[in-house]
Chains A and B, each alone.
Chain A
Amino acid sequence: MTLTDLANPTKFLALTARILPWLAGVTAILLAIGLYQSAMAPDDYQQGATVKIMFIHVPNAWLSMFVWGVMSVAALGTLVWRHPLADVAAKAAAPIGAAFTFLALVTGSLWGRPMWGTYWEWDARLTSVLILFLMYLGLMALWRAVEDPSRAARAAAVLTLVGAINIPIIKFSVDWWNTLHQPASVLRMGGSTLDKAFLWPLLVMAIAFSLLFITLHLAAMRNEILRRRVRSLQMMQANRVAFTSEVGTGSRDGNASQEIGAA
């Protein structure tokens, strides 16, 4: 089973039908374990119980950037290899990514209120994530603006690749600028500064959220493929109806040429 085999939508549908229940089950189990561990994690000596927002906030924030990365790879697949599943993957990922970004913003803002004393602060990290959210919405608007899916796919692919410039800016904004948002503490040179009691639940939650994304993404891709099939069936049917009625009453082109002949 290679990537080229998966290019056949029927094979893709058959494969995902088999693995989706397993994926969903593993995601649910890991989420349950992660949530339990998060709830059992000790309170922070400074932040108290609010530190537990981190276990939701950080995976969402990571996923918000990761999904754009997935879409960028899919965009390359659309533009370079014309892979038929690539534009389906890109289209299905956009709303999920927007949801992760929105949740990261909301949980961050709820965390910021007790810690920083404000729901919103115009610092570099928050602003760049907000821009990411706006770009997700713009991308979704672009997908919705065009009826022809392959045409929309190529336009969206260009925009996705241009928008990918924002991802490193978000990642390094806390290092480049002196921000209110804390700098990276998990993935950094010289090891994590996070205590083990917090690190383990966070990692479990991160894996659970990644699996959640994969599950949702595959399900959304299935829906998108089926939606396109329904669309092409409807168009074929409309075509047939139009054709039979044309044969019944005489084609319009024939009438027009007769008129031209008469003139």
Chain B
Amino acid sequence: MNALAALIRRDIKIALRVGGGALIGVLFFLTVTVLMPFAVGPDLALLSRLGPAILWLGALLASLLTLDRLFTADHEDGSLDLIVMSRTPLELACAAKALAHWIAAGLPLIIATPVLGLLLNLDGTATLAVAATLLAGTPALTFTGMIGAALAVTLHRGGLLLAVLVLPLSIPVLIFGVAASQAAISGSLPFGTPFSILCALSLASLVIGPFAAAASLRHGLD
């Protein structure tokens, strides 16, 4: 337990300090959201209707952007080999790394959501709904994305390949995240159903992600 806590603390520290790059995700999130009104036009009614979708898409792309850092830096300086060889089970170590990554790169996105909601003319309940769905859904993005990150690091290929592998896996999260936000805003459909499916997706990926990532690290590193 101590080793895992140390791993989480270390990863958060590395991500937040100079050169860590976790907060670049938030900047990217902001930029994508600001770009949208230029693309669809500054029509406030339209923006508030598209708002949840824009925020979800921005958060998805921002979390994809930072996924590359999950294993690459550790692989380059050799600490990933130490983690693989250490006595802590690799599955737990992967889960700890993903948790640290989510705290450093995923939580800031959720904290930024209310500010970005203002830009998109979302009212209080809508912003709250989007933030709640992001809080429930972004762990799924991180934990499924970790599988792609582990594959990419063992193949020494990042970037585009990672995106191609991870994006199809994150489609269900996007569907139910946006569905839950829209349900909360329109009020005609129940919010609970898509929201609980979203939570279920997060919990399932919490289990599957570490095992798949650990398997690909164990088989791929040499």
Contact = CB atoms under 8 A, between A and B. Distances in A.
Interface stretch (A12-20, A90-98, A135-143, A243-251): A135-143
A151 interface: yes
Contacts of A169: 172
B219 A158 contact: yes
Interface residues of B, number: 22
A155 B169 CA distance: 16
6 smallest beta-carbon distances between A and B, as pairs: A154-B219, A158-B216, A134-B168, A138-B164, A155-B151, A135-B168
B161 to A, nearest CB: 5
Interface in A123-168: 127, 131, 134-135, 137-138, 141-142, 145-146, 151-152, 154-155, 157-159, 161-163, 165
A79 interface: yes
Secondary structure at the A interface, as helix, strand, loop or mixed, is helix
A169 B164 CA distance: 20
Contacts, number: 60
A151 B169 CA distance: 22
A138 B157 contact: no
Interface in B99-143: none
Contacts of A127: 171, 175
A199 B8 CA distance: 58
B220 interface: yes
Contacts of B165: 138, 141-142, 159
B55 interface: no
Given A142-B161, A146-B157, 13 more contacts: A79-B219, A134-B168, A138-B165, A141-B165, A142-B151, A142-B165, A145-B161, A151-B154, A154-B216, A154-B219, A158-B219, A162-B212, A163-B169
Interface of A: 79, 127, 131, 134-135, 137-138, 141-142, 145-146, 151-152, 154-155, 157-159, 161-163, 165, 169
B155 A151 contact: yes
Contact of A159 (B151, B167, B172): B151
Given A134-B168, A151-B220, A158 B155 contact: no
